[in-house]
Amino acid sequence: MSDQVALATPGTEEAELLERMDRARLPRHVAVIMDGNGRWARQRRLPRVAGHRAGIESVREIVEISARLGLEVLTLYAFSVENWKRPKSEVRTLMRLLKEYIRIELNRLAGGNIRFTAIGRIDELAPSVRRELQHAMEMTERNSGMKLNVALNYSGRAELVDAFRRIQSMSEKRPVTVSEDLISDCLYTAGVPDPDLLIRTSGEMRLSNFLLWQVAYAEIHVTPTYWPDFRRKHLFEAILDYQKRERRYGGIRNGART
Ligand code: IPE
Ligand code: IPE
Ligand code: MG
């Protein structure tokens, strides 16, 4: 009960949603395409970067609540390989906000037993960003609680290319048998269960090159809410939606007869 109080203020809509949630059937891994920062800003006649700044507050809340709820893995899509196409000033602000987020939140992540990992082509990021990421990964590597993956300079296709290249170089040393397990083990997410629930904010119905291999059987929840407005209430709604789904994995309904 004290935990319920900590996760939601009694009498609020989120407390009611939390009550309806089956805490024994949480998704193990939730992945989020954090979208709509630009539209959130435009709605307020603000520059796009104001939307990115506001989005940090959502990251803070969702990371904290996910860990306290007991999710094993949370993966956030923060910057795609394709996002380099944006104006230089916007990219610069996004990188600056990322560094700021880590600097401000690192103690909280470490104290919350959260393990931080950056996934993507990290070696192509600026040295100052890499240093910050490296520091955060080292500071939290022994944490045993929720794993927080932040996808940066990430592309699902690039991840598969990187995995196949690894397999190719392995095969130059010894014979290898290509299997689903081997491919999974060569992805950035090696050792992490596939996402059970994929959330996309701002209403877009597409994957935008995110975790293409891993979402094979993820349940998808799209909310019209823009990322800067996304709070625990929306996460609870997404989890409740997930809990209503029947996951069949190509089989037939549990207990159904032919
Ligand atoms: C998501 O918001 C943040 C990133 C992709 C970095 P957008 O910046 O894509 O916002 P919209 O889609 O233009 O509203
Ligand atoms: C996906 O959002 C990438 C991230 C959330 C980091 P985009 O806004 O870049 O995707 P598209 O362009 O709408 O497909
Ligand atoms: Mg977008």
Residue 2 has pLDDT above 70, yes or no: no
In the CATH scheme, what is the homologous superfamily, with its name and number, of domain 28-155+193-240? Decaprenyl diphosphate synthase-like (3.40.1180.10)
Query: What per-residue confidence (pLDDT) applies to 181?
Result: 98
Domain positions in the chain are 28-155+193-240
The pLDDT confidence band at residue 5, using thresholds 50, 70 and 90, is low
Phi, psi dihedral angles at 156 (to 5 degrees): -60, -40
Mean pLDDT of 113-118: 98
10-40 pLDDT, tens digit per residue, is 999 999 999 999 999 999 999 999 999 999 9
Task: For the chain, give percent helix, strand, coil, nearest 5.
Answer: 50, 15, 35
Ligand nearest to the CA of 198: 2
pLDDT tens readout for residues 173-200:
999 999 999 999 999 999 999 999 999 9
- Residue 206 near ligand 2, beta carbon < 6 Å: yes
Instruction: State both tokens at 229.
Output: 């407005």
Q: Side chain identity at 141, as an amino acid letter?
A: E
Rounded to the nearest angstrom, the gap between the alpha carbon of residue 117 and the centroid of all alpha carbons in its chain is: 11
DSSP run (H or E) holding 216: none
Can you tell me which atom of ligand 1 is nearest the CA of 42? 14
pLDDT recorded at residue 254: 77
Sorting pLDDT into bands at 50, 70 and 90, what band is 4?
low
Q: What does the pLDDT read at residue 3?
A: 60
pLDDT band at 1 (very low <50, low <70, confident <90, very high): very low
| Of 92, 101, 202, best ligand 1 pocket probe by most atoms within 8 Å of the beta carbon | 202
How much is the mean pLDDT over the chain? 96
